[in-house]
Amino acid sequence: MGRVGMKWLLGLSLLVGLWVAADVASADEKPDDIVLVSEQWNAYTEANGTGLGWDLMREVFEPAGIKVQSRIEPYTRAVGLVQRGEADAWVGAYENEVEGTLYPKWHYDTDEIYAVGLASNPAPTLKTLGSYRLAWVRGYEFQHYLPNVKHFNEVARRDHILPMLEHARADLYIDAKPEVDFILGQSKEPQRFRTTYLTAIPLYLSFADNERGRFLRDLFDERMAQLVRSGKLRPIFLRWKQPYPFDTGDAAGKTGARQ
């Protein structure tokens, strides 16, 4: 073969070896699972693993070989776990909500935001929110996503929202539609209250800012593009009787833009 041919063969063998080593390294770096944390939301992220949110996450990740591990935590604790790299992502983030985590291009759902107040009071609008004393659950930061907010308080839990409104400790309570429906479902006199639609806010996963988080974020964007294009997410929304968030266009991050 000669020395030149031998050197070429050795070089080719070395190159093939590097390719194989790179493939093995890539396979080793691919996570087997994703640890997702979320507040418990009714029929969305239940503690037993059921709900629209968990079904969406399984459809995104599990066909790609990533097992979804769900964990229920209060919202602010869920955020902290991801910031510290103790979980891979939290569910229900708003775009660029906090620093120190990674946001994908694609949202996976939208939050329909409603105001709850006494039916005897005037219905609010986005323009008149500044004249009301508002309340919402701690950590939700609606002041960044709703216009004209001036007076607001944060509550630790949703247990006493309706008495708070009845005793005029706040004029309006702000939350997503499923939580508003659940709260009113606990009242013996729901007709005393009015719900008013305000806006829709896109929902994201927010990932840990590390190598594992970057891989999972990029995989999420890749899978969401495929799933929206194919329409495979639509039956999940239909099964849970929730509006499909991609009918107004499939551009990543554009549906339901914040006001």
Summarised one tens digit per residue, pLDDT across range 67-119 is: 999 999 999 999 999 999 999 999 999 999 899 999 999 999 999 999 999 99
CATH architecture of 28-110+203-239: 3-Layer(aba) Sandwich (3.40)
Break the chain into its structural domains and give their ranges: 28-110+203-239, 111-200
Decide: 207 and 101 in contact? Cβ < 8 Å: yes
Helix (H/G/I), strand (E/B), else coil: 154: strand
Mean pLDDT over 10-28 rounds to: 41
Distance between CA atoms of residues 55 and 162, nearest Å: 31
Cα–Cα separations (whole angstroms), residue 54 to 40, 50, 116, 140: 11, 6, 27, 20
Global pTM reads 0.77
Q: Give the lowest-confidence range in 135-149, 203-217, 238-252.
A: 238-252
If one counts every other C-beta atom within 10 angstroms of the C-beta of residue 249, the result is 9
Distance between CA atoms of residues 90 and 72, nearest Å: 10
Is residue 198 pLDDT above 90, yes or no?
A: yes
Decide: 148 and 130 in contact? Cβ < 8 Å: yes
The reported pLDDT for the residue numbered 139 is 83
pLDDT confidence bin for 36, thresholds 50/70/90:
very high
Is residue 135 pLDDT above 90, yes or no?
A: yes
The reported pLDDT for the residue numbered 235 is 98
Is residue 133 pLDDT above 90, yes or no?
A: yes
The mean of the pLDDT values for the chain is: 87
Is residue 7 pLDDT above 90, yes or no?
A: no
The reported pLDDT for the residue numbered 6 is 35
Q: Per the CATH hierarchy, to which homologous superfamily does domain 111-200 belong? A: Periplasmic binding protein-like II (3.40.190.10)
Is residue 1 pLDDT above 80, yes or no?
A: no
Distance between CA atoms of residues 90 and 77, nearest Å: 10
